[in-house]
C-alpha cells in the first residue's frame, strides 16, 4: 500500500501575463509537490515545460525527489507549438501518445512505478474546446477509453486533464461510468468552476468545471482545487486561466 498525490493543470501557454504568472505557478506547485502532475497547453517555442521542471527542481531541498518531464506534442499544424506534458517524481517505465485524429487532439500515458510491485497508469488529455462541440468531445472520450483498455496490469489508473466538458455533458457521464471522480468522491460534487479566471480576457464561454481527475483501482483520500490562489498584489492575476485539481490516493498492490 502506498500514497500518491496527483494533479492536473492547464497552464494557458505563454498567454495572459506569463512572466508574472510564472512565480505564482512555481510557488504553488512547490508547495503542493505532487508526485505526478498533468499539464496542458505547454508552449514548445519557449521550452515552457522543461523550464518549469528545472525551476521547480531548483526550489526543492536536498533529499527531495526531483521531477522528470515527458512531452507529447499536438499533431498537425500545432506540432511545433504546443504539447501536453507530465511532470513526475515517480519512475516511468513506458510513455505513449494517442492521436485523436480530430481537431489536432492528443493524449499521453505513462506507466509509473509507485513502489515495488505497484504500477500506476497515468493519462493526460485535452479534449476539443468549443462549448457547443459536445458530440466531438464525446467521440474523443470514447477513443480515449478504447485506448485505456489496451493497457492492463497496473494496480490503479488515473485519467485526468482538461476535458472542456461541463458537468452535465455526456462526456462526463461516460467517464463516470468507468471511473470515480476524485473531487466528487470527497466533496459529493464537482468544483463550482475550474475555468476561468481574470487572466483570460477574451473568451466569453461560461464559467464552470472543465478539469477532472478520474480514478480506478485506488482509494481517494483527499481532493480539491490547487494552483488556485491569486497574487496578493493583484486580485486579477492567477497562475492560469484554469484552476488546478489535485487528489491524494491510496494504491494497493
Please answer whether residues 82 and 41 qualify as being in contact, where contact means their C-beta atoms are separated by less than 8 angstroms: yes
Section 25-46 average pLDDT: 97
Q: What is the pLDDT of residues 78-91, one digit of tens each?
A: 777 999 999 999 99
Number of residues in the chain: 253
Give the total number of structural domains in the chain.
1
Write out pLDDT tens, residues 146-167.
999 999 999 999 999 999 999 9
Q: Are 189 and 154 a contacting pair, CB within 8 Å?
A: no
Q: Quote the pLDDT of residue 65.
A: 94
In the chain the first and final C-alpha atoms are separated, in Å, by 6
Average the pLDDT over 157-178 and give the result: 98
SS3 35: coil
Which CATH number characterizes residue 214's domain? 3.60.10.10
Angle, alpha carbons 69-89-70 (nearest 5°):
15
Tally helices (H) and strands (E) across the chain: 5, 12
Provide the domain limits for residue 172.
2-251
C-alpha cell at 177: 461510468
Burial of 252 (0-12, 13-18, 19+ CB in 10 A): exposed
The pTM (predicted TM-score) of the whole model is: 0.97
* Confidence grade of residue 102 (pLDDT, cut at 50, 70, 90): very high
Where does the pLDDT of residue 63 fall: very low under 50, low under 70, confident under 90, or very high at 90 and above?
confident
Q: Distance (Å, rounded) from C-alpha 150 to C-alpha 62? A: 39
pLDDT confidence of residue 1: 77
Q: How far apart are CA 123 and CA 86, in angstroms?
A: 9
CB 149 within 8 A of CB 179: no
Q: Are 104 and 76 in contact (CB under 8 A)?
A: yes
pLDDT tens by residue, 193-248: 999 999 999 999 999 999 999 999 999 999 999 999 999 999 999 999 999 999 99
Mean pLDDT taken over the chain: 96
Give the whole-angstrom CA distance, residue 70 versus residue 92: 9
Amino acid at each position: 500500500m502506498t500514497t500518491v498525490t496527483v494533479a492536473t493543470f492547464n497552464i494557458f501557454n505563454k498567454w495572459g501575463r506569463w512572466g508574472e504568472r510564472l512565480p505564482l505557478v512555481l510557488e504553488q506547485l512547490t508547495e503542493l509537490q505532487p508526485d505526478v502532475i498533468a499539464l496542458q497547453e505547454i508552449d514548445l517555442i519557449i521550452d515552457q515545460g522543461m523550464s518549469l521542471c528545472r525551476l521547480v527542481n531548483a526550489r526543492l531541498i536536498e533529499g527531495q525527489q526531483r521531477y522528470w518531464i515527458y512531452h507529447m506534442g499536438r499533431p498537425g499544424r500545432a506540432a511545433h507549438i504546443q504539447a501536453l506534458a507530465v511532470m513526475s517524481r515517480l519512475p516511468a517505465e513506458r510513455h505513449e501518445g494517442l492521436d485523436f485524429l480530430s481537431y489536432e487532439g492528443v493524449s499521453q500515458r505513462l506507466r509509473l512505478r509507485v513502489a515495488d510491485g505497484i504500477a500506476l497508469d497515468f493519462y493526460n488529455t485535452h479534449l476539443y474546446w468549443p462549448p457547443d462541440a459536445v458530440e466531438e468531445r464525446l467521440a474523443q472520450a470514447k477513443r480515449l477509453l478504447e485506448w485505456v483498455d489496451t493497457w492492463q496490469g497496473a494496480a490503479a489508473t488515473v485519467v485526468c486533464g482538461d476535458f472542456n466538458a461541463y458537468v452535465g455533458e455526456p462526456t462526463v457521464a461516460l467517464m463516470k461510468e468507468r471511473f470515480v471522480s476524485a473531487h466528487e468522491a470527497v466533496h459529493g460534487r464537482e468544483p463550482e468552476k475550474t475555468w476561468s479566471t481574470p487572466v483570460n480576457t477574451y473568451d466569453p464561454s461560461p464559467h464552470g468545471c472543465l478539469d477532472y481527475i478520474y480514478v480506478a483501482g485506488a482509494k481517494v483520500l483527499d481532493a480539491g482545487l490547487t494552483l488556485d490562489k491569486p497574487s496578493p498584489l493583484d486580485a486579477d492575476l492567477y497562475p492560469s486561466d484554469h484552476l488546478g485539481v489535485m487528489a491524494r490516493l491510496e494504491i494497493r498492490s
